[in-house]
Amino acid sequence: MDVDVVVLGGGAVGENVAGRTAAGGLSTVMIEAELIGGECSYWACMPSKALLRPGHARVAAQRVPGIPVGPLQAGAVLKRRNEFTSNWDDSSQVKWAQDNDITIVRGRGEVTGEREVTVGGDLYRARHAVVVCTGSVPKMPPLHGIGDVPVWTSREATSAQEVPESLVVLGGGVVGVEMAQAWARLGSNVQLVISGEHPLPRFEDFVGPMVVDGLREDGVEIHQNAKATALAPGTLTLDDGREVCGERILIATGRRPNTKDGKPLAVDDTGLVSGVDGRWLYAAGDVTGRVMLTHQGKYLARAVGSAIVMRAKGEEPEPWSAGQASADHVAVPQVVFTDPEVASVGKTSRESDGKVIDLDIAVAGSSLHADGYRGKARMIVEDGRLSGVTFVGQDVAELLHAATVAIVGRVPVERLWHAVPSYPTISEVWLRLLEEYGL
């Protein structure tokens, strides 16, 4: 079958590529072996946040006097989570694709030649582009016995239909801390095993300790500076001989690109795969290894789709246009949906020689928001412009886009002085940061 574009992978990233190319008038086939909508819709972003939100809302209510608060109803939480995944039914996504003139092919595809993808015994030839959007898969650690013992990965952790009596989580990244807190608040006895002193080591140094405090308040037992060496049913063995036991064991030690060799496909800012002649092979999302975040993958996907349409018309996308992605280099926003939340964008202090401004989030808005509000903010300024911001605290995620806009727009901090935050809101922290900077 000859078409203009073949998109390999029908997750959120593949959908965005296919949506752009189909809207641009190119016949588009999207190949998916599982559910249209992919990991984020059914086993990651949406179900994990649906598990976390009820616990956050309950604790937030407890921090404001006068609100009667009862225990979480686990059954209702899981039912609502199931609704957010459409009960793992992708018919609505299939209809979206059909309504947008995207042809869906069910099966596992493989690039088998130049401009060619094979699915089973069927061959699809692309006149303009093949786009690899196969995402990522869990990266399993080399533990003795790991191949013989059933474990949870992020998929089982976000789709489980019952609360485990006890849960051992191996890994101090985003999945590890989020799922530890979600299941602890739903009633599981949770232990978290991390290899360092604190989780989330890629963030600013104050992030991990604050997240640890939040987890411990929820009853999570944390094994720090611990290396796992072996796995048996219900038991994780550490290098010092200790055994950490639980009904379920969640392996949350990262993800790798979903390619045959686990290596990323290097791409330029239009998604063209490096080292492939003919400018026909593109990639977007986790499989590129650039930034393994859904929103960044979708962002690159939109750039890829636009670039393919432009090149099909004989045009070449210019830098910073709709046909090229650049935010991956300067302004990647990320939220860790624990309590306290972690929200960051741009550079960390380890990556910058700029001026670092640190503040506790102690403003009228935060004190009204919750009794005993605890939060921190860090702002980094280079050459008079914002280059990085990190917030930690209850409900700080909604502060993040303002920082992202300021970094992407290269707004001078002197100009930010005239962006007056409303009173009394947590956004008042912007004024305090600028005052501390010296304005």
pLDDT band at 326 (very low <50, low <70, confident <90, very high): confident
pLDDT band at 386 (very low <50, low <70, confident <90, very high): very high
Asked if 399 and 391 touch (Cβ cutoff 8 Å), the reply is yes
pTM of the model: 0.96
**Three-state secondary structure call for residue 95:** helix
Backbone phi, psi, residue 246, to 5°: -165, 160
In the predicted model, what is the mean pLDDT of residues 433-437?
A: 97
Q: What is the DSSP string of 383-407?
A: TTEEEEEEEEETTGGGGHHHHHHHH
Q: What is the pLDDT of residue 400?
A: 98
Mean pLDDT of 432-436: 97
Quick one: pLDDT at residue 42?
Answer: 98
**What burial letters (b/e) apply to 97-134, b meaning 16+ CB within 10 Å?**
beeeebbbbeeebebeeebebbbeeeebebebbbbbbb
pLDDT above 70 covers what percent of the chain? 99
Please say if the pLDDT value at position 435 is more than 80: yes
At 322 the pLDDT is 62
Partners of 386 in beta bridges: 381
pLDDT on residue 89 = 98
Quick one: pLDDT at residue 41?
A: 97
Q: Among residues of the chain, what percentage have pLDDT more than 90?
A: 97
pLDDT, residue 91, reads 98
User: Does residue 5 sit in helix, strand or coil?
Assistant: strand
Cα 154 to Cα 172: distance, rounded to the nearest angstrom: 13
Q: Pick from 250, 96, 62: which is nearest to 172 by CA?
A: 250
17-21, 112-116, 252-256, 314-318: the lowest-pLDDT one: 314-318
Are 131 and 284 spatial neighbours (Cβ–Cβ below 8 Å)?
Answer: yes
For 342-376, the pLDDT digits (tens) are: 999 999 999 999 999 999 999 999 999 999 999 99
Band the pLDDT of 320: cuts 50, 70, 90. Answer: low
Question: For residue 83, what are the contacts with CB-CB under 8 A and spacing of at least 6?
Answer: none
**Could you give the domains of the chain?**
2-37+90-137+256-327 (3.50.50.60), 146-253 (3.50.50.60), 340-437 (3.30.390.30)
Q: Is the pLDDT score of 321 beyond 70?
A: no
Asked if 192 and 185 count as a contact pair (C-beta separation under 8 A), the reply is no
**Residue 272 predicted with pLDDT over 90:** yes
pLDDT in tens, 187-233: 999 999 999 999 999 999 999 999 999 999 999 999 999 999 999 99
The alpha carbon of 199 is separated from its chain's Cα centroid by a whole number of angstroms, namely 16
3-state helix, strand, coil in the chain (%, to 5): 35, 25, 40
Convert the pLDDT of each residue in 42-76 to its tens digit: 999 999 999 999 999 999 999 999 999 999 999 99
Beta strands in 63-217 (DSSP E): 102-106, 109-113, 116-119, 122-132, 136-138, 166-170, 189-193
pLDDT for res 323: 72
